Amino acid sequence: MKRLIVIGALLAGIVASTNAHADLKIAYVDVQRALNECSAGKKAKADFRIQIERLEGKLSKQQNEVQSLKDELEKKGMLMKEDERRNLQDEYARKLRDFERSYKDSKDELERKDNEVTGAIVRDLARVIRSLGEKDGYTAVFEKGGILWGAPQIDITDQVIRAYNTGAPAVGSLEKEQRPSVGSLESSSRPVGGAQASTEFGEEAAKKSTISK
């Protein structure tokens, strides 16, 4: 409900700041689909899958070693000499700790990589969206996840994907190219009419998007 109130207030502000005789031109973008289907997103997803498969192979090997030691303890432990059983228990405990540590480290690394790559691509997409919006005279462009319903004809996701792919930028290059100078930073960070800056939009959209989907 709070989100709808905010969107309603934003629309009201747009209407109030627009000439009463001018037509509103509004569009929306499915940022997750743009991320999935743009060239950089496809490559990132493919690389991510390779990394997951490699880590799964490593973890599977460690898990099998732990399970093998556990089975040996359960089946033969009572028949072993005390020092042999203790050595086997120590080895099992060490292997189990190694596996648990590897699992946590792998999970953390995948999440970090996902956030890093997703953020870079979505921030670039945000700049493409802003450029299209300004060039084509849109009053506002919304993210699909922030609206309840939108007519298909105002969905410009395909245009955004084509525009992004046409430039075929290296991931993060648009952010570097359009980064404001120190002297212009203060003025550029306050969009006209209260509109959300592309940098801010990119950060917010990145939090809701992921290359792992």
- CATH number of the domain that residue 46 is part of: 3.30.910.20
Rounded Cα distance, 56 and 61, in Å: 9
Kindly give the residue spans of alpha helices, DSSP state H, lying in 136-197.
Answer: 157-167, 173-177, 185-188
CA angle 46, 31, 206 (to 5 degrees): 80
Check residue 199 and give its pLDDT. 58
Rounded Cα distance, 141 and 186, in Å: 23
Check residue 107 and give its pLDDT. 92
- Whether 58 is in a domain gets the answer yes
- Whether 14 is in a domain gets the answer no
Neighbours of 50 (CB within 10 A): 10
Q: Which residues contact 165 (CB under 8 A, 6 or more apart)?
A: 38, 39
- Whether 194 is in a domain gets the answer yes
Check residue 79 and give its pLDDT. 84
- Whether 5 is in a domain gets the answer no
pLDDT < 50 regions, the chain: 2-12, 14-16, 18-21, 179-194
Which CA distances in Å does 200 have to 130, 135, 148, 161? Answer: 12, 20, 22, 20
Amino acid at position 38, single letter: C
Which CA distances in Å does 150 have to 27, 29, 154? Answer: 8, 10, 7
Check residue 179 and give its pLDDT. 47
Check residue 66 and give its pLDDT. 94
- Whether 1 is in a domain gets the answer no
Could you tell me if 36 and 45 are in contact, meaning their C-beta atoms sit under 8 angstroms apart?
yes
Count of domains observed in the chain = 1
What single-letter DSSP state applies at residue 142? E
Q: Which residues constitute the domain of residue 135? A: 24-207
Check residue 9 and give its pLDDT. 46
- Whether 12 is in a domain gets the answer no
Neighbours of 34 (CB within 10 A): 25
